[in-house]
Amino acid sequence: MELGNILTNILSVITILNILLLASVLFIERRDIGNTWAWIMLLVFIPIAGFFIYLFFGRSLKQKNFYNLSAAERKAEKTEVDKQLLPENLAILENNPLLKEHRELIHMNLKSSHALLSKDNHIKIFDDGHAKFAALFEDISLATKEINIQYYIIQSDSLGTKLRDLLIQKAKEGVKVRLLYDEVGSKKTPPKFYNDLRAAGGNVEVFFPSMFRLVNFRVNNRNHRKLCIIDGEIAYIGGFNVGDEYLGLNKNFGYWRDTHFRMTGGAVNHIQGKFILDWHQAGKKEPGDWGDYLFQTEKQSGTSPVQIVSSGPNSETEHLKNMYIKLLLSAKKTVYIQTPYFIPDNSFMDACKIALLSGVDVRIMIPCKPDHPFVYWATWSYVGDLLNYGAKILLYENGFLHAKTIVVDEEVAVVGTMNIDSRSFRLNFEVTAIVYDEKVAAQLTDLFRQDTELSSKLTKERYEERSLLIKFKQSISRLLSPIL
């Protein structure tokens, strides 16, 4: 067969596959309309390259029983959720004015994300990497039973090595150590970095690993969670990854401003449950321990009510985005948001506009410097739109802002791993803690106000002064925002 005929046949096959992919995107996979059109444009205008880009970035995950839970496990989880949804148990919320006020939100989180409510938690807030890791390493050093630790990024630098060596020490002491990291987030760290930990008896798994560290067909669906659970009694959850830059040691970013919770109480069980599900998905399932952690009785460590809400590409609905929208629409006075990226979809933008038009003081703090240029300019495009509705946009100038927080009416607060963008809404595995406690909300409000002193205000006049080049960058970035 002549070379020309061979090439023609190859192109014909690719064209047919391209048509099948278009049909899949249009009629089979359940995507939002903006995302659908973005993929259609890619597949139509660059069919060959678009085909391969889709293979790596576009395929949807199965949504039904992604974690392969047994029928008994699914029934046990449903039983616990249904128990909290009983009228007599929901009526107990009436005894707490704040829980009563947000009863609908609590109900939505239970129904949507199976986020059980625990009311006995104690929370310590960290906004500095040195303090957070000092506390984490101290808690790990005191562990006697087990350490479950999960990060999107673990660097093989000074901080990452210190963590690994501490885990090696605990494994040698007989403590059960399980470490889970994301393949793409931690791509700079070679697998051999963990050889000594495995040799000491520690267990290490990779979420959605690559083939030969070269090809990864799940590069677009990453585990963005940052969790550590120690002896089933202490849990960490928030925005910090593991690396020297999170201590402010990267000169390109400078000081690293982030937010993390250290928690004790019943919520630890629910954080542990999230880790166990991810662990079983990434590695060998260990029978019996998921339900054991998830459904323990409350520990009576404090008085803060908490729900641990998770979301991911395996979810039928965008739990975390919907929770944020519900919070925005319930706000009466103030909404304070900190996020490194602000690339919302139309539903989130509409919620912000409704809150602003209703007289709510909405303040959004973003970094003044980019770590991803396209994302940065898309962020500027969206916050610029909200300026016209009266939003106060703050540019954090004391380094890099990576905190993912929202505080509503100085009553309810959320800290976790979710950025305000389509990737966190739909593509990444994320987790947050929502706290119904005025004291915790007041502490986070104080931090926001302190950060405001280190920020400049983006006014409409300043925004309009941007150059034609910047306007062009914003337009292109916004066009690509559904798939950034």
Selected catalytic residue, list 114, 119, 132, 224: 224
Selected catalytic residue, list 127, 128, 182, 409: 409
Sequence-ordered list of residues with C-beta below 8 angstroms from that of 311, at least 6 positions apart, any chain: 113, 318, 319, 320, 321, 418, 425, 429, 430, 431
Structure tokens at 73: 């496990």
**409 is a catalytic site residue:** yes
**274 is a catalytic site residue:** no
Give the C-alpha separation, 126 to 258, whole Å: 8
Residue closest to 423 by CA, chosen among 325, 329, 339, 326: 339
Give the C-alpha separation, 355 to 375, whole Å: 24
Residue closest to 77 by CA, chosen among 105, 115, 46: 115
What residues are paired with 400 via a beta bridge? 256
Structure tokens at 217: 């067909």
How distant, in Å, are the alpha carbons of 24, 137, 320, 339, 380 from that of 266?
Answer: 43, 22, 21, 27, 40
**224 is a catalytic site residue:** yes
**278 is a catalytic site residue:** no
CB 389 within 8 A of CB 395: no
Selected catalytic residue, list 402, 421, 437, 451: 402
**385 is a catalytic site residue:** no
**128 is a catalytic site residue:** no
* Burial of 140: CB neighbours in 10 Å, binned 0-12, 13-18, 19+: buried
Give the C-alpha separation, 229 to 140, whole Å: 9
CB 158 within 8 A of CB 192: no
E-strand ranges in 244-360 read: 256-264, 304-311, 334-338, 342-343
Sequence-ordered list of residues with C-beta below 8 angstroms from that of 182, at least 6 positions apart, any chain: 151, 152, 153, 206, 207, 208, 222, 223, 224
The one-letter amino acid at 412 = V
Any idea how long the chain is? 484
Q: Which segments of 46-122 does DSSP mark as H helices, in order?
A: 47-57, 71-85, 87-92, 97-101, 103-113
Selected catalytic residue, list 231, 289, 350, 385: 231
Query: Which residues are marked as active site?
Result: 224, 226, 231, 402, 404, 409
